[in-house]
Amino acid sequence: MGAAPQTITEESLKEIASGYDRENARAPVVIGHPDIDAPAVGRVEHLYVERGVLKATLKNTVSEFATFVKEGRYKRISISMFLPNSSANPKPGKMYLKHVGFLGAAAPAVPGL
C-alpha cells in the first residue's frame, strides 16, 4: 500500500513461484498485513501459478484459523512482497514473497483482489 506501483504479469508470478525457497526463507501466513509478519498462523509450503493466478499450499496452520477460513471470516487473501532492491530480501534482485495475509474487513491495496 505504501510502495511504488508495480506491474505484475503472469510471467512475474511464475518467476515469484519458481524462486520461492521454503527451506531457507519460508513465508508466514498472517492475519491482515502486520509490520513484523507475526503472529504466524501457518507457513507457505509451495507456490504455483494456475490460470494466471498465484496460488499457495499452506502448512502448519493453526486449527482455529483454519476453521475461521472455512467459515468465511476472511473474504480476501493478499500478499506482501520483498522488492528486488530490499535489503531484507532473501533473494536480492528478484521479487520474493514476504507473507500471505488473510483479510477480513480491510480492503486490499489491489482492487478486486
What local confidence, expressed as pLDDT, does residue 5 receive?
76
Residue with cell 482455529: 64
27-79 tens-digit pLDDT: 999 998 888 888 999 999 999 999 999 999 999 999 999 999 999 888 889 89
Give me the pLDDT at residue 75, please.
Answer: 85
| The total number of residues written for the chain in this structure | 113
pLDDT of 63 reads 93
Over the stretch 90-107, which tens digit does the pLDDT of each residue have? 999 999 999 999 987 555
DSSP string spanning 16-73?
HHHT--TTTSPPEEEES--TT--S-SEEEEEEEEETTEEEEEEES--HHHHHHHHTT-
Q: Could you tell me the residue ranges of all domains in the chain?
A: 24-103
